[in-house]
Amino acid sequence: MSGEAHADARPARPGRTVPVPVERWGATARRGPGPDEVVTEEPLEIRVDAGRGSVPVAITLRTPGHDFELAAGFALAEGIVRGPEEIRGIRYCAPAGTEQEFNVVTLELAGRPDFDVDRFRRNVFTNSSCGVCGKATLDRLRTEGLRRPGGTLRVAPARLVGLPDALRRAQPLFACTGGSHATGVADAEGRVGLVREDVGRHNAFDKVVGRLALDDGLPASGSIAVVSGRASFELVQKALVAGFPVLAAVGAPSHLAVALAREYGLTLVGFVRPDGLSVYSGAERLVPDGTALEVPMRAGTGVSG
């Protein structure tokens, strides 16, 4: 094979969308062909190098982009690292003499000579809709070191009900494809700042947590996590690892999500709409008078004094 042909055969770095042809139909008749954009779904292999060479710990199907944030957030959520200071670096795989492999990311750990890869390696890959499918038992879902959220955040429902619309306005990938989830970070006034999108809801959350970790923004005790879909057990777990006191979801929570939120004192709200919301846990952080407050909490209780 010639050098030019070999260069042409190298895979391009995947983008966030892929153009596809589509047939447009009405209820009774064909309208004709046209172009469309669909959200990209590519595998990402996450490897860990604790000083003895890199080893794979998981494969997830994700939308390319913010891959280093995804890897960092995943490592924190899984307990692979106990804080961002244990991440020495993050890199794409680039074997000697080859092009970078943009679907393989390696986390280089610092100060973890005792790291046991077999403890964290998932049995099968995680898919874009379920982040925990490869874990063997429910007990393993509980990351070591889950803590009750700290801080003194109080928020008015009037601020929460506007979060889905604010999040939607910050979702260009969804606007283009209709095929992505999003996680955003909001303040007590309902202002949404950091937003990440992905074909997988758990990936979008990991990307947000990873960005906060890399920016020394954890724990997120003064912020609200808002998600575009339902609130699963794993998203509650990730919110607790990151230190969010409030998790707001457009959709419904699962029963395990509610149980975990109640156990650790996370404020969990679902079915957030312009005309109201449902509170499943932690109602003490909501104030009804339309203003956000900072009220001291008794240490270790998560309830107002």
Phi-psi region of 79 (alpha: psi -120 to 50; beta: other; left: phi over 0): left
d(CA 35, CA 106): 36
CATH of domain 157-285: 3.40.140.10
pLDDT classification of 52: cutoffs 50, 70, 90: confident
Report which of 79, 130, 128, 147 is spatially closest to residue 232, judged by C-alpha positions: 130
Residues of the chain with CATH 3.10.20.10: 42-141
| Beta carbons of 79 and 145 less than 8 angstroms apart | yes
Bridge partner list, 90: 107
Q: Right CATH number for 42-141 from 3.10.20.10, 3.30.70.360, 3.40.50.2300, 3.30.200.20?
A: 3.10.20.10
| Beta carbons of 76 and 213 less than 8 angstroms apart | yes
pLDDT, averaged across the chain = 83
pLDDT classification of 23: cutoffs 50, 70, 90: confident
Q: Show Cβ contacts of residue 145 under 8 Å, excluding neighbours closer than 6 positions.
A: 79, 82, 241
pLDDT of residue 296: 39
d(CA 24, CA 12): 30
Q: What is the mean pLDDT of residues 117-138?
A: 51
d(CA 157, CA 61): 35
- pLDDT digits 0-9 by tens, 130-161: 544 434 334 444 555 688 999 999 999 999 99
Which range scores top for mean pLDDT: 9-13, 14-18, 148-152, 289-293?
148-152
Report which of 76, 12, 10 is spatially closest to residue 46, judged by C-alpha positions: 76
Beta strands in the chain (DSSP E): 17-25, 30-39, 42-49, 54-62, 87-93, 101-109, 181-186, 192-198, 224-227, 246-249, 267-273, 276-281
Tokens of 22: 């589509």
Query: Cα(first)–Cα(last) distance of the chain, in Å?
Result: 74
User: What pTM, to 2 d.p., does this model score?
Assistant: 0.82
Q: What is the mean pLDDT of residues 96-110?
A: 80
- pLDDT digits 0-9 by tens, 59-68: 989 999 999 9
Q: What is the mean pLDDT of residues 181-206?
A: 96
pLDDT of residue 115: 78
Q: Show Cβ contacts of residue 169 under 8 Å, excluding neighbours closer than 6 positions.
A: none
pLDDT of residue 271: 93
Q: What is residue 245's three-state secondary structure?
A: coil
pLDDT of residue 168: 97
Residues of the chain with CATH 3.40.140.10: 157-285
Number of C-beta neighbours around residue 192 at 10 A: 21
Q: Among 64-78, 231-245, 269-283, 291-305, name the one with the lowest average pLDDT.
A: 291-305
d(CA 223, CA 220): 6
Catalytic residues: 130
